[in-house]
Homo-oligomer: A and B are copies of this chain.
């Protein structure tokens, strides 16, 4: 079960320990995900230089992979980084951006999952369904399915790949293949900001970096995203102001807000 106190302890641990999150991510969100990690209290490192991937992941508390712009050099770096992270027991979080959109993307994900063990895979419904072998087409980075349609796919994938699956949507579902946690926070304007899904994945990396129960860590991340999104929406006139206030909310998030705002079921 996910409780406000669980979420808050993870936020506090991030601010106290400043986990170093190594990100090999797409070139749309390098800036915004680094800012979100900093605002929350984590330390980001962003790189896609294969020549340092025998060293860099070993320094981190988590490794985040995001295939949003799957150029060859990024992917080559991911495989090298996974080898290092696996050797050093660093948890890996994967964001299979638009996995169902092209053959290239599903191939990369399959090769990564066949080769390495992931702590968490966070995606939207279309992405999780595509990874589980179901037909669901991404539209750009956006899902064409709602998150509840992907629960079975998520549970199957969690068992198949021995990992945690985090499905984001109006309701977020987080599962280890047996248990399913849900988070109902968030705001309908959030999908109008590019890369908030990628931000959720980066923050999942920060949570996994301080909380060894990866099911709870993945749920904490979605709770932080959703609550901060709601806080940001209070003063937002559109997606521009929403994004801005979102960083401020990550920075200012306190125990009282988590306790008052967390909405979870089951």
> Which residues of A are at the interface with B, using a C-beta cutoff of 8 A?
18, 20, 26-32, 34-35, 38-39, 43-52, 55-56, 59, 68-73, 98, 101-105, 139-142, 191-195, 236-241, 243-252
Contact = CB atoms under 8 A, between A and B. Distances in A.
A212 to B, nearest CB: 21
Given A38-B239, A252-B238, A101 B56 contact: yes
A237 B251 CA distance: 9
B140 A192 contact: no
B47 A70 contact: yes
A35 B194 contact: yes
B72 A51 contact: yes
B34 A49 contact: no
21 contacts: A26-B46, A27-B30, A27-B46, A27-B48, A28-B46, A31-B31, A34-B194, A35-B240, A35-B243, A43-B142, A45-B140, A47-B68, A47-B69, A50-B71, A51-B104, A52-B101, A59-B101, A73-B73, A237-B248, A237-B252, A239-B251
A139 to B, nearest CB: 5
A248 B178 CA distance: 42
Contacts of A192: 38-39, 251
Contacts of A238: 39, 245, 247-252
Contacts of A20: 139-140
Contact of A44 (B194, B237, B240, B247): B194
A35 B252 CA distance: 24
Contacts of A239: 35, 38-39, 247-248, 251
Contact of A52 (B31, B105, B244, B245): B105
Nearest to A28: B30
A56 B102 contact: yes
A48 B31 CA distance: 18
A241 B240 CA distance: 9
Contacts of A46: 26-28, 68-69
A245 B30 CA distance: 21
A194 to B, nearest CB: 4
Contacts of A69: 30, 46-49
